Amino acid sequence: MVPVIALIGRPNVGKSTLFNVLTKSRDAIVTDAPGLTRDRQYGVGNWRQGKFIVVDTGGLSGEKQDLDDLMARQTLLALEEADEVLFMVDAQDGLTSGDRMIADLVRKSGKSCQLVVNKVDGINPDQAQADFYALGFNHLQIISAAHRKGINPVLESLLESYPENQTEVVEDTGPMVAVIGRPNVGKSTLINRLAGQERVVAFDQPGTTRDTISVPFERHGKSYTLIDTAGVRKRGKVHEVIEKFSVIKALEAIEHANVVVLVIDARDGLTDQDLTLLGYALNSGRALVIAVNKWDGLETEQREYNRKTLQRRLVFASFAAQHYISALHGTGVGEMMKSIDQAYSSAFRELNTRYLTDLLEEAVFKHNPPMHNRRRIKLRYAHQGGKNPPVIVIHGNKTEHLPDAYKRYLMSFFIEKLKLKGTPVRIELKSGDNPYARKRGSQSSRYSKKN
């Protein structure tokens, strides 16, 4: 059995900091601002010879506002699936009414719980604990998550009842699929639709998602990991430090993904910011699927106009499948998943050297490389140089002078002939050394010496 540990507490008590310490990662954004974490964030921690799963949650504030209510539901789901609970409080703030409310909630759940008093730096330990005994928990620990103090006793107390040889985690994450787009285009709604549960907070307000959240799920017996990202706005509109971190995490998610799903709002069409995100995904070489969301809200004439406009403006990314979907109602989502599978398969396909060389000869026969200094650039053979994206290495003479237009021709030719779906192809050129260049140089130098 792999123990699941949920971190519960008010906003800004240090849950995300402890999450990063336990998982030895920087997956959760940490800053001195309350309410940053809004979704459940999962990570794997190591303890001695075993492992455990830790769940970071949004802070329970007790407010009745819509967004706070959704965050509370996420926390309650984490509490329900946890084996152990770390109830975190802030020694600097002392005991608050919010802490009492959460204590009642944890007791009603019946889960095994430890009370963790965080931020004890500069405070007498006995004084830090005194107020919190009133909450009535038997197990109370004092720590400083930011300085990694007192963590080991907490883990030892939590995990002593879990045998080490039974805490093996089998990680089959499947394809990593990053869902990107501008704020409020429906990324979180799409994640919840695919996962089949309210896995991340979806709210009709731009900027609801602030962190990158990994969501494992299965479909037809196949594992996937969806990555929900924060919406990326124009640089000039990003002012908060928190949002700047969110944008960085979103761009990092693209780099780590196998397939990127760009979500576009059908009502707005293709905006400059959509094109910027698309360009970043293409430069990263990731397999790509384009999802045009909120399609069900358009009139028939507007649909036809938007479809033709998108196809015309996205001709440079014609290898990527376009799907017109409704994340809210599930329309078209199944077909989109088929394209994700095709894109992933194409990005990791094994390419035969002999077949690549035959295709190169066919491409050269149909359209010869241009001349350079009155000599034809020669392309001799090709082989695979990498995956995700597929890299085709072409060897020849004077390849460094091959124009970009011809490289694009080769890329399109290979994509078409290899029937690659949803992935770009990178062309790398290698020029062979001229074996006679050095000899000619040495002969000329001897001739000059004689004269």
| Same domain (yes/no): 9, 96 | yes
| Same domain (yes/no): 194, 288 | yes
| Residue at 442 is within a domain | no
pLDDT at 242: 40
Residue owning tokens 């693209």: 254
Q: Is 347 within 8 Å of 418 (Cβ atoms)?
A: no
| Residue at 439 is within a domain | no
pLDDT at 46: 83
| Same domain (yes/no): 328, 366 | no
Q: Using the 3D structure, point to which of 346, 375, 405 is the last residue of a domain.
A: 346
Six token digits for residue 128: 């830090």
| Same domain (yes/no): 330, 357 | no
Q: Render pLDDT for 5-62 as a digit per residue (tens, 0 to 9).
A: 888 888 888 888 898 888 887 655 444 444 444 456 777 788 776 788 888 887 776 5
What total of structural domains would you count in the chain? 3
Q: Render pLDDT for 286-338 as a digit per residue (tens, 0 to 9).
A: 999 999 999 988 888 999 999 999 989 998 888 999 999 998 888 999 999 99
Query: What whole-number distance in Å separates Cα of residue 419 and Cα of residue 346?
Result: 8
Q: Is 128 within 8 Å of 90 (Cβ atoms)?
A: no
| Same domain (yes/no): 337, 359 | no
CA dihedral angle for residue 369, residue 370, residue 373, residue 377, rounded to 10 degrees = 0
| Same domain (yes/no): 338, 195 | yes
Q: Which residues pair with 144 in a beta bridge?
A: 149
| Residue at 436 is within a domain | no
Give the domain range for residue 339: 176-346
Region for residue 40 given its phi and psi (left: phi exceeds 0; alpha: psi -120 to 50; beta: otherwise): beta
| Same domain (yes/no): 43, 64 | yes
Q: Using the 3D structure, point to which of 283, 314, 346 is the last residue of a domain.
A: 346
| Residue at 186 is within a domain | yes
Residue 387's pLDDT band (boundaries 50, 70, 90)? very high
What backbone phi and psi angles, to 5 degrees, belong to 398?
A: 60, 30
| Same domain (yes/no): 327, 213 | yes
Residue 191's pLDDT band (boundaries 50, 70, 90)? confident
| Residue at 437 is within a domain | no
Six token digits for residue 442: 């040495």
| Same domain (yes/no): 148, 228 | no
Q: What is the CATH number of the domain that holds 322?
A: 3.40.50.300
| Residue at 315 is within a domain | yes
| Same domain (yes/no): 190, 338 | yes
| Same domain (yes/no): 195, 335 | yes
Q: Which of 33-42, 149-158, 171-180, 327-336 has the lowest mean pLDDT?
A: 33-42
pLDDT at 173: 66
pLDDT at 208: 42
| Residue at 159 is within a domain | yes
| Same domain (yes/no): 107, 154 | yes
The answer to whether the pTM exceeds 0.85 is: no
User: Is residue 252 pLDDT above 70, yes or no?
Assistant: yes
Q: What is the CATH number of the domain that holds 398?
A: 3.30.300.20
pLDDT at 200: 52
Q: Which of 70-74, 108-112, 121-125 has the lowest mean pLDDT?
A: 70-74
Six token digits for residue 59: 């802070």
Which helix (H) or strand (E) is 337 found in, with range? helix 333-347
| Residue at 449 is within a domain | no
User: What spatial distance separates the first Cα and last Cα of the chain, rounded to whole Å?
Assistant: 87
